[in-house]
Structure 1
Amino acid sequence: KSTVYYVLITILVSFGPVCQGDKILVVPLDGSHWLNMDIIIQALHKRGHTIDVVRSSKNWYIKEESAYYSSVTVPVTEGFDEKFIKNYLRTLFDIERGKFSGLNFIKAQVEAYSLMKTLANFISNMTVTMFEDENMMKMLKNRQYDLVLTDPVWGTGVMLAHYLKLPVVFMVRWTAGGEGHLIVAPSPLSYIPMTGSGHSDAMTFIQRVQYRLQVKSAYQAVCDKYFGPHVDYDALVRAADIWLMRVDFVFEFPRPTMPNIVYIGGFQCKEAKTLPKDLEDFVQSSGEHGFIIMSLGTFIAELPSEITEEVAAAFAQLPQKVIWKHQGERPSTLGNNTMLVDWMPQNDLLGHPKIRAFVAHGGTNGLQEALFHGVPVIGLPLFFDQYDNVLRLRDRGGAKLLSLGTLNRNVFLESLQDVLYNPAYKENMQRLSTHHRDKPVKPLDSALFWIEFVMRHKGAAHLQSESYKMPWYIYHSVDVIAFLLLALCTMFGMIFLIIRCVWRMFCKRKTKQD
């Protein structure tokens, strides 16, 4: 009986947390950001938490039906969908390939910036639709969530958390205004080359103007309408309890950080699984030469035809086999060594013993998987943080960085051969992989702990710096400097007046004596 009793107690204790799961409202960003968030959601679901995901009716990757979350769908007429992304990419490709010159180039830049403004308007309109829907907001309040988990590139989650008075955890690399560290951590320009311009941690002048006039103005208008002008959107972002930063210091340059920033770089990485038979047979046929994979991420299904012809021609001259994720027209220069696929098990291919190199667009997910498995990279970045991501691996000796604007078959072939046959690239990436894997706690476990920590303690205010609430002139001690300068000037003024009075008295006394 006692044995049965202890077995029952063990079972109850084991399943106890599942019965006491918290309620989490998730407001994600679509595309590759959703792929990251989806991993966290599944892990939280397995731990017994109830998940609701806010999505728009125009979402691309976020499905309405799921076995591990319920969806709250917001009806919108326009959104971040496949059509929007394709138009944006078309403009970027034209700029990158130099199809604009002079005034036309300026026009193309303006068009690219207007697309960002349009995106901010999409999100603002979605947020307004939610706030104006009394039934939806009443339903969200009645569900009594314990936490909002959101991506701060999307302003909706930040404002929704403030409306519902809930603690916030960010899944973050970017915010609407730039790289996440810029918002909450000191960022001296003297030694922090980070996302933004490719060289420094600061946004360029144009980027700052773009954010203020196009992005923040749209979100701030929503804050003014529903919370009052005293609520600053940037302050809401800084008030997040925990920032789950999707990098680590094997990948990121060393820099100042803050107690509420938790580094979870590579949390989505895992050991490789067995490949499907057709792919396994193909890579095994490569013999001692091995194989290369090429994937340009979630958004870029195909490159312009003039680029794909050059890429295919370069691949055809290699003894390695190539698996290329490409959904456009079949290039006429395609060699017998290249397999075109609509989708690939990227992580499993990167973990295969015969992998030799990875041609990538520079997204954080793909580069971290390459780093996890120790595979050198040929980077073809296009937008957002991609250039800076490849730059970090290049500076550590694990990647080659190319420009789509100057890419041709000779340049591409030379770069491929350099990475394939110079052993330093593989050695450097394997060293980085060893460092990345050598951690006391797995990144995913760390992310889950801090999410649950915030729910257990109803926030993490003790980890937030007082600097988040300070005006800029107090943060930079401008008021203190002004006071000290005034005091110094007053002191020198008084000394001058004293000397002047003494001098006059001395002169008067001397005059009387004469």
Structure 2
Amino acid sequence: MPSLPATLLAFLSILSLVFGGKVLVFPLDGSHWVNMKVLIEELHTRGHNVTVLRASNSWYIKKESPFYTSITVYNSGGIEKELFEEFSRNILVIRRQKRSFWTKLKLVSEVGAVFEEMHRNQLNLMGNIFENKDLMDSLQTAKYDLLLTDPAVGGGFFLAYRLGLPLVLNVRWTMHGEAHFEIAPSPLSYIPVPGLELTDKMTFVQRVQNILVYMFSKFQKARTVSKHYRSFCEKYFGSEINYKAILQDADIWLMRNDFTFEFPRPTMPNIVYMGGFQCKPSKPLPDDLEEFVKSSGDHGLIVMSLGTLFTHLPEDITEEIAAAFAGLPQKIIWRHTGPRPVNIGDNTLLVDWLPQNDLLGHAKTKVFITHGGTNGIQEAIYHGVPILGLPLVFDQPDNLSRMKVRGTAKLLDIAELNRTMFLEALKEVLYNPSYKENIQRLSKVHHDQPMKPLDRAMFWIEFVMRNKGASHLRTQSFRMSWIEYHSIDVILTLLMILVLFCVLIYSIVKCICLKVVLKKKVKTQ
């Protein structure tokens, strides 16, 4: 006879299958897919039926999966993996130049050009979907409960609008930038614009800089991004439809950060914070890795990974880092796919891939060397591992600057990097106890919440399924003109009334005074 827990588990499994929903997913490839895949797998575990729309030239989004059914759409354009690798090489060349206004401008220009190409590609893909009548008919017939998408490179919200589906965003970035700026009040007096590496405590000069960069970024987005989305929206929905309104009309914004990482700021009721949702307790390492880690003894382990785009650095930098590692008593596991450095020490293990979460959760791990990607930062917070940061591009400098402000990270500029500087910085993070204490304090705050971030995300996705949306949580502010939003019309009306009242009082007083003067004249005569 089966035990009670086993019977209960089976019963709950049956219930989840009975009440399972149908979810259509339009994901973004690359590192963003790592996050989306976590949500997809959890939805599958809870008995939901997931369908993923993928491009035929996807890098990471596989056609076959036990967790979802895929629909492949032909896509011949866009940025291939080889072009992205060339982009990463160009970024490293620019980053290694001395920091100045011009190098910053070159970096912005390089990133902007690549992003514009990505946006064009995604809209071409969405156009192929819209013009495929059989595909659109099948999507309509399937009667999905909601559409889940990542709007960093938009397109999915257009599909939700066309199919009339509730929309949930897996978001930190939209095509315009940081997602809070899309729907939440964002006073520039204490909310830094991404890319400036500022805090919420700005001097006057920094606030001037913050406003100027915000205005420049709005101009740049209008020139390189917005025109493509406006053109697409006009072609398929008509000129009376505003593409921003379609995006802002999303039911739930699942935000991939929280206030252990982000500076305090205004938010909205349909923004759900799930920072660290992809993190989990570490699993045992493979035998060969476990043996290498244990051989570190009391000195411990250093983990180095620069993400999927920067798996190897220029050879001269690699040699400097390898030489610095060789002078340490710790063991190092380094994700590196380039030529083997000549200066590599016996204490350093080079790998093509590493189980990052499991290594960061290992008791012997002392420091995490990272480029500052969101996933790596969140895993470091989750496991309480101090950071040595090598920021390169995108949101990485901002992410690491937030960790530096909290005393959990030491940052190095790759333009000035040499073995002496690298070794000194690494020893500071290793042997200054404040870094470990601060990151563990941050980790404690992150874990001290009523429910796990992934469970919170699942609740709100299922909430949207059960209630056919969450319109009661959507703000109406974005539907207002800037004159209405800032009550300029009300202020001007009240000022006009005040002026008229003052004129009326003045006229009455003047009239009374004139009558008094006239009476006195009559009496004297």
Residue 377 of structure 1 aligns with which residue? 387
Counterparts of residues 322-333 of structure 1 (less than 5 Å): 322-333=332-343
Residue 36 of structure 1 aligns with which residue? 35
Task: Give structure 2 stretches of 5+ with no counterpart.
Answer: 201-209
Residue 92 of structure 2 aligns with which residue? 93
Indicate whether 1:347 and 2:357 are aligned: yes
Residue 80 of structure 2 aligns with which residue? 81
Report SS of the residue matched to 1:72. Answer: strand
Which of structure 1's runs of 4+ aligned residues deviate more than 6 A? 7-10, 99-105
Deviates more, 1:61-70 or 1:84-93: 84-93
Deviates more, 1:393-402 or 1:301-310: 301-310
Deviates more, 1:133-142 or 1:12-21: 12-21
Indicate whether 1:26 and 2:36 are aligned: no
Q: How far, CA to CA, are the matches of 2:45 and 2:228 in structure 1?
A: 37
Residue 477 of structure 1 aligns with which residue? 487
Deviations 1:237-281 (A, max 9, x none): 111111111112222222222111111111111111111122112
Contact kept, 8 Å, 2:91 with 2:110, in 1: the verdict is no
Residue 138 of structure 1 aligns with which residue? 137
Q: 1:298 aligns with which of 300, 308, 311?
A: 308
Instruction: Kindly state the Cα deviation for residue 18 of structure 1 after the two structures are TM-superposed.
Output: 0.5
Contact kept, 8 Å, 1:291 with 1:357, in 2: the verdict is yes
Residue 448 of structure 2 aligns with which residue? 438
Residue 238 of structure 1 aligns with which residue? 248
Residue 395 of structure 1 aligns with which residue? 405
Instruction: Kindly state the Cα deviation for residue 307 of structure 1 after the two structures are TM-superposed.
Output: 2.1
Q: How far, CA to CA, are the matches of 2:316 and 2:500 in structure 1?
A: 71
Deviations 1:105-136 (A, max 9, x none): 85665344222211111111111111111121
Instruction: Kindly state the Cα deviation for residue 327 of structure 1 after the two structures are TM-superposed.
Output: 0.7
Report SS of the residue matched to 1:286. Answer: coil
Pick closer, same or farther for the CA change 1:67–1:80 going to 2, 3 Å. farther
Q: How far, CA to CA, are the matches of 1:456 and 1:60 in structure 2?
A: 34
Contact kept, 8 Å, 1:325 with 1:340, in 2: the verdict is yes
Paired amino acid for 1:255:
R
Pick closer, same or farther for the CA change 1:408–1:131 going to 2, 3 Å. same
What is the alpha-carbon root mean square deviation over aligned residues? 2.5
Instruction: Kindly state the Cα deviation for residue 416 of structure 1 after the two structures are TM-superposed.
Output: 0.3
Q: How far, CA to CA, are the matches of 2:65 and 2:358 in structure 1?
A: 25
Q: How far, CA to CA, are the matches of 2:227 and 2:29 in structure 1?
A: 22
Paired amino acid for 2:138:
M
Deviations 1:371-426 (A, max 9, x none): 11110001111222211211222111111122222222222111101000001111
Paired amino acid for 1:208:
K
Q: How far, CA to CA, are the matches of 2:115 and 2:477 in structure 1?
A: 29
Instruction: Kindly state the Cα deviation for residue 148 of structure 1 after the two structures are TM-superposed.
Output: 0.4
Residue 418 of structure 1 aligns with which residue? 428
Pick closer, same or farther for the CA change 1:113–1:449 going to 2, 3 Å. same
TM-score, normalization by structure 2: 0.91
Counterparts of residues 451-462 of structure 1 (less than 5 Å): 451-462=461-472
Instruction: Kindly state the Cα deviation for residue 491 of structure 1 after the two structures are TM-superposed.
Output: 2.3
Pick closer, same or farther for the CA change 1:102–1:267 going to 2, 3 Å. closer
Q: How far, CA to CA, are the matches of 1:185 and 1:194 in structure 2?
A: 14
Contact kept, 8 Å, 1:59 with 1:80, in 2: the verdict is no
Contact kept, 8 Å, 1:355 with 1:375, in 2: the verdict is yes
Deviates more, 1:264-273 or 1:303-312: 303-312
Q: How far, CA to CA, are the matches of 2:55 and 2:98 in structure 1?
A: 35
Instruction: Kindly state the Cα deviation for residue 502 of structure 1 after the two structures are TM-superposed.
Output: 4.4
Q: How far, CA to CA, are the matches of 1:200 and 1:437 in structure 2?
A: 24
Pick closer, same or farther for the CA change 1:153–1:104 going to 2, 3 Å. closer
Paired amino acid for 1:183:
E
Deviations 1:408-447 (A, max 9, x none): 2222111101000001111111111112112211111111
Contact kept, 8 Å, 2:27 with 2:150, in 1: the verdict is yes
Report SS of the residue matched to 1:24. Answer: strand
Pick closer, same or farther for the CA change 1:464–1:278 going to 2, 3 Å. same
Q: How far, CA to CA, are the matches of 1:254 and 1:303 in structure 2?
A: 35
Counterparts of residues 254-333 of structure 1 (less than 5 Å): 254-333=264-343
Q: How far, CA to CA, are the matches of 1:394 and 1:215 in structure 2?
A: 32
Pick closer, same or farther for the CA change 1:288–1:76 going to 2, 3 Å. same
Instruction: Kindly state the Cα deviation for residue 289 of structure 1 after the two structures are TM-superposed.
Output: 0.9
Contact kept, 8 Å, 1:171 with 1:244, in 2: the verdict is yes
Deviations 1:322-357 (A, max 9, x none): 111011122222222211110000111111111110
Pick closer, same or farther for the CA change 1:107–1:347 going to 2, 3 Å. closer
Residue 157 of structure 2 aligns with which residue? 158
Contact kept, 8 Å, 1:27 with 1:151, in 2: the verdict is yes
Task: Give structure 1 stretches of 5+ with no counterpart.
Answer: none
Instruction: Kindly state the Cα deviation for residue 153 of structure 1 after the two structures are TM-superposed.
Output: 0.7
Report SS of the residue matched to 1:73. Answer: strand
TM-score, normalization by structure 1: 0.93
Residue 206 of structure 1 aligns with which residue? 216
Pick closer, same or farther for the CA change 1:14–1:137 going to 2, 3 Å. closer
Paired amino acid for 2:280:
K
Paired amino acid for 2:240:
H
